């Protein structure tokens, strides 16, 4: 089920084609990664459905396998048997490649009483510290040392963590997930205040509760967890990927194409739909889980500020900027979450966009057209931004750095081609 792209593949896009038809959205990468880590909590076999086919998921399978989890894959259905864990130490060469791998710290620690996880890697969109994860686990009674780039956490109290009241300085998604998982098997009650409210948090709580955990309030800023001793088997479906959903809606909008984006959850993309409406992009529901994009001849510029959910998601900032580059008038995009998330700007500028960056603010003057050019994808979401820009640009765009795209998008070029886009993956030189 899992395809892997070569690091030096390139994508050749012939812009200007109108798209048509329907695309099916895959399961959410970020949710699936957290849920996969969550299966470490379970002493029986867990099954996840709707697992997307992409490189980060394959990496997580490798990490879990290295800990002794038996993983069986059948298309988008993956079984995890974590009944006999054989190691509490995650291999550096795998963890260093992906931020999401740090999610294993909490569940491994609470289940085994100990965990050693190297500091995570992933996209270079900012410094991305892990202090909130560490402080949360310390509050639950863990001793945490960071030495030689490895986080070593141990339960002080024999093998069981102890529930606590935790206030997160900022609503970190990963810290909320790590602490929530650790608290499911802790003794007593844990309260997480100022918790992240992303749909992925709700999904993870859904899996944990399906396994017998007692979590309330996921999706609000206060999550209350009553620790239980053991979790049991579960069969659970991953939510649709809201970032992939947004990327395809934007692909339809930028090419003025009335495509249908199917297998989605509308309530997860409200902040994105609100902004699209503001700039002149409509939609209608073909069914409760399918949306038809209603494009317009031209779009208005607008201001966007990325915020924790339910604000506008930082992961959609770069693809949305591709559209704003072609809107009428001026737009201002403020990135409040990651300090280095404007690396796509230089590439969009190569394509003729008029964008200036000052600190965490990008000022965009809409232009009437973009022109195809060779561009480099510098991070995961930048890759989607460049593909979307390439679809609308005059002539040929060549996107390199495709290993970023392959980390997080399930068969993007195949799905785009299914909609009639003219693009092809070629081995790089
Ligand atoms: C997750 C997503 C990522 C998304 C982000 C925000 C995964 C695998 N990745 O990343 O796609 O862009 O949420 O929606 O799910 N921070 C700290 N200390 C910490 C943790 C975070 O200062 O201990 C800061 C970060 O540097 C950042 C902000 O908090 O500025 C938000 O980060 P966080 O919500 O933790 O993002 P991730 O979980 O890393």
Q: For residue 427, how many other CB atoms are within 10 A of its CB? A: 8
* Residue 40 belongs to a domain: yes
Q: What is the pLDDT of residues 21-38, one digit of tens each?
A: 999 999 999 999 999 999
163 and 287 both lie in a single domain: no
383 and 273 both lie in a single domain: yes
Q: Is the pLDDT of residue 6 over 60?
A: no
Atom of ligand 1 nearest to the CA of 103: 8
391 and 276 both lie in a single domain: yes
Range of the domain at 74: 29-237
Our answer on whether the CB atom of 337 is closer than 6 Å to any ligand 1 atom is yes
Beta strand segments in 243-378, E? 260-262, 282-287, 290-294, 303-305, 330-334, 354-358, 361-365, 374-376
Q: Tell me phi and psi for residue 284, to 5 degrees.
A: -135, 150
pLDDT band (50, 70, 90) for residue 8: confident
89 and 222 both lie in a single domain: yes
Ligand 1 centroid to Cα of residue 173, in Å, is: 6
- DSSP per-residue string spanning 103-168: GGHHHHHHHHSEEEEEPP----SS----HHHHHHHHHTTEEEEEETTEEEEEESSTT--B--EEE-
190 and 51 both lie in a single domain: yes
Whose CA is closest to 280, among 249, 301, 307, 252? 301
Q: Tell me phi and psi for residue 214, to 5 degrees.
A: -120, 90
Our answer on whether the CB atom of 130 is closer than 6 Å to any ligand 1 atom is yes
252 and 396 both lie in a single domain: yes
Ligand 1 centroid to Cα of residue 71, in Å, is: 27
pLDDT band (50, 70, 90) for residue 119: confident
pTM of the model: 0.95
Q: Is the pLDDT of residue 1 over 90?
A: no
Ligand 1 centroid to Cα of residue 257, in Å, is: 33
Q: What is the mean pLDDT of residues 291-303?
A: 95
How deeply is 418 buried, as exposed, middle or buried, from its count of CB atoms within 10 A (0-12, 13-18, 19+)? Answer: middle
Whose CA is closest to 299, among 254, 247, 337? 254
Q: What is the mean pLDDT of residues 245-259?
A: 97
* Residue 1 belongs to a domain: no
* Residue 412 belongs to a domain: yes
* Residue 374: DSSP 8-state: E
Our answer on whether the CB atom of 33 is closer than 6 Å to any ligand 1 atom is yes
Our answer on whether the CB atom of 172 is closer than 6 Å to any ligand 1 atom is yes
pLDDT for 100 equals 83
* Residue 3 belongs to a domain: no
* Residue 137 belongs to a domain: yes
Give the residue from 204, 237, 270 where a domain finishes: 237
Our answer on whether the CB atom of 245 is closer than 6 Å to any ligand 1 atom is no
CA 364, 370, 374, 376: dihedral to nearest 10 degrees? 30
227 and 176 both lie in a single domain: yes
156 and 219 both lie in a single domain: yes
pLDDT for 111 equals 96
Our answer on whether the CB atom of 128 is closer than 6 Å to any ligand 1 atom is yes
**Domains: count for the chain:** 2
Give the residue from 177, 209, 237 where a domain finishes: 237
* Residue 4 belongs to a domain: no
Q: Probe ligand 1: pick from 169, 174, 272, 336, max atoms within 8 Å of CB?
A: 174
Atom of ligand 1 nearest to the CA of 170: 29
Most confident of 65-79, 110-124, 331-345: 65-79
- At 276, list the tokens: 């699209």
Q: What is the mean pLDDT of residues 40-53?
A: 97
Give the closest residue (by CA) to ligand 1 atom 28. 337
Of 8-12, 122-126, 227-231, 295-299, the poorest mean pLDDT is in 122-126
Ligand 1 centroid to Cα of residue 175, in Å, is: 8
Q: Tell me phi and psi for residue 24, to 5 degrees.
A: -100, 125
Q: Give the integer Cα–Cα distance in Å for 239 and 202.
A: 10
355 and 281 both lie in a single domain: yes
pLDDT for 338 equals 87
pLDDT for 99 equals 82
Give the residue from 202, 237, 272 where a domain finishes: 237
pLDDT band (50, 70, 90) for residue 122: low
Which residues does the annotation mark as catalytic? 123
Q: What is the mean pLDDT of residues 358-367?
A: 96
* Residue 48 belongs to a domain: yes
* Residue 338 belongs to a domain: yes
Atom of ligand 1 nearest to the CA of 127: 26
pLDDT for 129 equals 84
278 and 362 both lie in a single domain: yes
182 and 316 both lie in a single domain: no
143 and 163 both lie in a single domain: yes
Ligand 1 centroid to Cα of residue 336, in Å, is: 11
How deeply is 243 buried, as exposed, middle or buried, from its count of CB atoms within 10 A (0-12, 13-18, 19+)? Answer: buried
pLDDT band (50, 70, 90) for residue 325: very high
Ligand 1 centroid to Cα of residue 172, in Å, is: 5
- Alpha carbon separation from 140 to 21, 118, 212, 222 (Å, rounded): 51, 20, 20, 16
In DSSP terms, which residues pair with 151 in a beta bridge? 117, 146
CATH of the domain at 274: 3.65.10.10
């Amino acid at each position: 089920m899992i395809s892997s792209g070569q690091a030096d593949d390139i994508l050749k896009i012939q812009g200007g084609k109108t798209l048509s038809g329907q695309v099916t959205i895959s399961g959410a990468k970020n949710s699936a990664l957290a849920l996969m880590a969550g299966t470490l909590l379970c002493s029986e076999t867990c099954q996840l459905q709707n697992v997307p086919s992409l490189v980060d998921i394959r990496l997580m399978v490798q990490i879990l396998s290295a800990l002794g989890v038996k993983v069986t894959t059948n298309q988008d259905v993956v079984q995890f048997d974590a009944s006999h864990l054989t190691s509490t130490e995650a291999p550096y060469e795998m963890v260093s490649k992906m931020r999401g791998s740090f999610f294993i710290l909490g569940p491994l620690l609470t289940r085994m009483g100990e965990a050693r996880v190297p500091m995570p890697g992933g996209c270079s969109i900012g410094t991305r510290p892990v202090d909130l994860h560490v402080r949360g686990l310390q509050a639950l009674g863990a001793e945490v040392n960071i030495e030689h780039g490895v986080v070593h956490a141990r339960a002080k109290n024999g093998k069981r963590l102890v529930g606590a009241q935790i206030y997160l300085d900022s609503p970190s998604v990963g810290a909320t997930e790590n602490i929530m998982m650790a608290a499911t098997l802790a003794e007593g009650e844990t309260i997480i205040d100022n918790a992240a409210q992303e749909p992925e948090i709700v999904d993870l709580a859904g899996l944990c509760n399906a396994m017998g955990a007692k979590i309330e309030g996921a999706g609000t800023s206060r999550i209350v967890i009553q620790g239980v001793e053991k979790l049991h088997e579960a069969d659970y479906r991953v939510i649709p990927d809201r970032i992939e959903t947004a990327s395809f809606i934007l692909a339809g909008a930028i090419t003025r194409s009335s495509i249908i984006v199917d297998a989605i959850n509308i309530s997860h993309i409200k902040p994105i739909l609100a902004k699209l409406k503001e700039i002149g992009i409509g939609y209608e529901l073909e069914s409760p889980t399918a949306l038809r994009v209603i494009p317009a001849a031209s779009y208005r510029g607008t201001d966007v500020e990325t915020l924790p959910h339910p604000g506008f998601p930082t992961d959609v900032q770069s693809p949305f900027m591709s559209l704003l580059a072609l809107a009428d008038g001026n737009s201002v995009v403020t990135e409040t979450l990651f300090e280095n998330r404007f690396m796509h700007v230089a590439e969009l500028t190569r394509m003729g966009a008029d964008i200036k960056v000052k600190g965490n603010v990008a000022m965009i003057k809409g232009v009437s057209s973009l022109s195809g050019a060779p561009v480099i994808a510098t991070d995961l979401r930048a890759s989607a931004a460049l593909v979307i820009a390439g679809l609308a640009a005059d002539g040929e765009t060549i996107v390199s750095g495709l290993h970023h795209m392959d980390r997080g998008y399930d068969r993007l070029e195949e799905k785009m081609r299914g909609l009639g886009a003219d693009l092809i993956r070629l081995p790089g030189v």
